[in-house]
Amino acid sequence: MSYDPSASYPYRYPQQQPQHPQHETTYPWQHPQHETTYPWQPPLDPPEPPAPRRRPPRAPLGHHSDLRILRSAYRWQRRTASLTALGYFTLFLLLSAFAPAFMTSTVTDGLPTGLLLAVLQIPVTWLAIVLYEHTARRYVDPIADRIRKQSELDAKREATR
């Protein structure tokens, strides 16, 4: 089998150089980019590095230390109010189970101690609610207000950019 060197033959091997420069044609496999790559490989040219991003002047709000302080204050607030109400109720249950003589003793004419302690559960629950609101106003709300104002300022700054 012989090779036809005429111009009508559509295929040229890459190592063959054309005889006449005016008839020179380039094929996809002769392109310098395709010499050592395959279709599944990236091109030989290195990718351009991404443009540097501007960093905010301070840490974003989600990583702010005020949020950790707020979570901690809210956690203590919940624990204090819950333990006030549940602690009293647990004490009432323990006395009912393990000190029946104490619970059946009378405080005044016909009023047993157990009944008095049961009726006192309502004011203790109110006390827990008042304690919850007091700690909210004194500790948690100022931190939340400060974070809210800071986030509003951050939103305004982002809107002007």
Per residue in 124-155, pLDDT tens?
999 889 989 998 899 889 988 988 898 888 88
Looking at residues 56-73, what average pLDDT do you find? 70
Distances (CA, A) of 120 to 59, 88, 92, 98, 113: 50, 9, 10, 19, 10
Per residue in 36-56, pLDDT tens?
556 666 666 666 777 777 765
Q: pTM score > 0.85 for this model?
A: no
Which of the four pLDDT bands, split at 50, 70 and 90, describes residue 70? confident
Question: Would the pLDDT of 68 be above 80?
Answer: yes
What residues form DSSP beta bridges with 108? 111
Per residue in 92-124, pLDDT tens?
999 999 999 999 999 988 899 999 999 999 999
**Long-range pairs for 148-156: beta carbons < 8 A, 24 or more residues apart:** 150/61, 150/64, 150/66, 151/61, 154/61
Q: What are phi and psi of 48, to 5 degrees?
A: -70, 140
Type of residue found at 137: R
